[in-house]
Chain A
Amino acid sequence: MKSPIDTGGIAGQILSIIAPGRPLSRRKVLKLCGATAAGMASWSFFGPGAAGSVPIIITEQSHGLVIGDPTRCVACRRCELACTDFNDGKSSPATSRIKVRRNINFGPTGLYTGQQTQGDWGTGLIVQDFCKQCPHPVPCADACPNAAIEVKPPVNARVIDPEKCTGCKICLKACPWEMISFDPETTKATKCFLCNGRPKCVEACPAEALTYVSWVDLTGKVPPRITPTLNKPYACGDCHK
Chain B
Amino acid sequence: MFMTARYGGWVGRVLRVDLSTGRITTEDTVEKYKDYIGGTGIGYKVLWDEVPADTKVFDPENKIIFATGPLAGTSAPCNGRTAVTTLWPTCWPRHLVGTGHMGGHFAAEMKYAGFDAIIIEGRADHPVWLRVADGKAVIMDARGVWGQGIRRTTYEISRQMGPEAVVAAIGQSGENLVPMSVIMNSVSHSAGGGAVMGSKNLKAIGVLGAGSIHIAGDKEEWEKAVKYHLSLFGANNQAVVPNSPQPWAEHYNPATRWVASEGRQWGSANPPIDTGPCDPHNLNRIAYRSNSAAFFLGEQGWRHTVRGNGCTGCPIRCHTIIKVPAVAAKYGIPETGQNKCSGLVFGKSFFRSFPDGLMGQTSIEACMVGMHLADDLGVWNNYGQLQRDFQKCYYEGIFESKVGEKDFRSYSWDKFEKGDPAFLFELLPRIAAKEGDLATALGLGTGYMLEAWGIAETDWKSDHNLHYWKLGHPKHHSNEDAGQTGVIINTQYNRDAQCHSHTNFTRNGLPIEVQKKLAADLWGSPDAVDTPGAFTPMNVYKARMAKWSLLRKELHDSISLCNWMGPWSSSPLRERGYRGDDTIESLLYSLVTGDKKSRQELDEAAERIFVLHRALTIRGMGTKQMRTKHDTIPDWVYGDDKDRVPFTKGTIQMDKIDIQNAMLMFYEEAGWDKETGSPTRETYRRLGLADVAGELGKKGLLA
Known contacts A91-B73, A106-B158, A110-B163; is A205 also within 8 Å of B223 by CB? no
Known contacts A75-B309, A85-B215; is A207 also within 8 Å of B223 by CB? no
A121 and B151: CB pair below 8 A?
yes
Complex CA gap A91/B312 in Å reads 12
Q: Give A78-105 as 1s and 0s: 1 = Cβ < 8 Å from B's Cβ atoms.
A: 1001101111111111110000011011
A86 and B307: CB pair below 8 A?
no
The residues of B that contact A74 with a CB separation of less than 8 Å are 287, 307-310, 317
B112 within 8 A of A: yes
- Closest-by-CB residue of A relative to B233 is A206
A1 within 8 A of B: yes
A207 and B284: CB pair below 8 A?
yes
Q: Give A92-126 as 1s and 0s: 1 = Cβ < 8 Å from B's Cβ atoms.
A: 11110000011011100011000000001111100
B187 and A120: CB pair below 8 A?
yes
Complex CA gap A208/B285 in Å reads 6
Which residues in window 280-308 of B have CB below 8 A to A?
283-288, 306-308
Complex CA gap A90/B165 in Å reads 20
Known contacts A89-B222, A206-B284; is A106 also within 8 Å of B310 by CB? no
Q: Which of A76, A94, A111 contacts B312 (CB 8 A)?
A: A76
Q: Separation in Å of the A120 CB from the closest CB of chain B?
A: 5
A191 within 8 A of B: no
Q: Separation in Å of the B593 CB from the closest CB of chain A?
A: 13
Q: Give B140-163 as 1s and 0s: 1 = Cβ < 8 Å from A's Cβ atoms.
A: 000000000001001100110001
The residues of B that contact A95 with a CB separation of less than 8 Å are 210, 212
* Residues of B in contact, count (CB < 8 Å): 57
Q: Give B8-27 as 1s and 0s: 1 = Cβ < 8 Å from A's Cβ atoms.
A: 00000000000000000000
Q: Separation in Å of the A124 CB from the closest CB of chain B?
A: 4
Known contacts A78-B75, A95-B212; is A207 also within 8 Å of B219 by CB? no
Complex CA gap A167/B415 in Å reads 65
- Closest-by-CB residue of B relative to A83 is B75
B164 within 8 A of A: yes
Q: Give B68-80 as 1s and 0s: 1 = Cβ < 8 Å from A's Cβ atoms.
A: 0000011101000
B703 within 8 A of A: no
B105 within 8 A of A: yes
A72 within 8 A of B: yes
Known contacts A89-B222, A124-B307, A124-B336; is A185 also within 8 Å of B212 by CB? yes
A121 and B213: CB pair below 8 A?
no
Q: Which of B151, B215, B288, B309 contacts A124 (CB 8 A)?
A: B309
Segment of B114-122, B194-202, B266-274 in the binding face = B266-274
A184 within 8 A of B: yes
Which residues in window 1-25 of A have CB below 8 A to B?
1
B223 and A94: CB pair below 8 A?
no
- Closest-by-CB residue of B relative to A122 is B336
Complex CA gap A106/B105 in Å reads 14
Q: Which of B215, B273, B310 contacts A90 (CB 8 A)?
A: B215
Q: Separation in Å of the A57 CB from the closest CB of chain B?
A: 32
Complex CA gap A184/B315 in Å reads 29
Which residues in window 212-255 of B have CB below 8 A to A?
212-215, 218-220, 222-223, 226, 230
Q: Separation in Å of the A162 CB from the closest CB of chain B?
A: 16
- Looking at A78, A122, A184, the one whose CB has the most chain B CB atoms below 10 A away is A78
Q: Separation in Å of the B114 CB from the closest CB of chain A?
A: 12
A219 within 8 A of B: no
Known contacts A76-B312, A102-B163; is A90 also within 8 Å of B213 by CB? yes
A158 within 8 A of B: no
A71 within 8 A of B: yes
B310 and A76: CB pair below 8 A?
yes
Known contacts A85-B223, A91-B74, A111-B158; is A206 also within 8 Å of B286 by CB? yes
A77 within 8 A of B: yes
B338 within 8 A of A: yes
Q: Separation in Å of the A46 CB from the closest CB of chain B?
A: 28
- Closest-by-CB residue of A relative to B11 is A91
Complex CA gap A24/B263 in Å reads 46
B524 within 8 A of A: no
Known contacts A81-B313, A85-B215, A106-B158; is A91 also within 8 Å of B307 by CB? no
Q: Give B413-426 as 1s and 0s: 1 = Cβ < 8 Å from A's Cβ atoms.
A: 00000000000000
Complex CA gap A91/B588 in Å reads 14
Complex CA gap A190/B218 in Å reads 21
The residues of A that contact B213 with a CB separation of less than 8 Å are 90-92
B324 within 8 A of A: no
Complex CA gap A207/B312 in Å reads 14
B47 within 8 A of A: no
Q: Give B524-567 as 1s and 0s: 1 = Cβ < 8 Å from A's Cβ atoms.
A: 00000000000000000000000000000000000000000000
B321 within 8 A of A: yes
B314 within 8 A of A: yes
B186 within 8 A of A: yes
B694 within 8 A of A: no
A121 and B187: CB pair below 8 A?
yes
Complex CA gap A94/B213 in Å reads 11
Q: Separation in Å of the B122 CB from the closest CB of chain A?
A: 30
The residues of A that contact B271 with a CB separation of less than 8 Å are 71
A76 and B163: CB pair below 8 A?
no
Complex CA gap A204/B338 in Å reads 24
The residues of B that contact A72 with a CB separation of less than 8 Å are 269, 273, 307
The residues of A that contact B284 with a CB separation of less than 8 Å are 203, 205-208
Complex CA gap A77/B76 in Å reads 12
Q: Which of A73, A78, A82, A91 contacts B215 (CB 8 A)?
A: A91
Q: Separation in Å of the B649 CB from the closest CB of chain A?
A: 39
Complex CA gap A208/B287 in Å reads 9
B60 within 8 A of A: no
Complex CA gap A87/B212 in Å reads 13
Complex CA gap A93/B73 in Å reads 9
B75 and A85: CB pair below 8 A?
yes
The residues of A that contact B220 with a CB separation of less than 8 Å are 86
B223 and A90: CB pair below 8 A?
no
The residues of B that contact A207 with a CB separation of less than 8 Å are 284-288, 308, 317
Jot down 17 A-B pairs with beta carbons below 8 A, ordered by A: A72-B273, A77-B312, A85-B226, A90-B213, A90-B214, A91-B213, A93-B112, A104-B164, A105-B163, A105-B166, A110-B163, A111-B163, A120-B321, A120-B338, A184-B210, A206-B287, A208-B284
19 more A-B residue pairs beyond the given contacts A86-B75, A206-B284, A206-B287, with a C-beta to C-beta distance below 8 A: A74-B307, A76-B310, A77-B313, A81-B74, A85-B74, A85-B226, A86-B223, A90-B214, A93-B112, A105-B164, A105-B165, A120-B186, A121-B187, A124-B307, A200-B223, A205-B284, A206-B283, A207-B285, A208-B284
Closest CB pairs A-B (n = 7): A92-B212, A206-B315, A94-B210, A85-B75, A207-B287, A89-B219, A206-B286
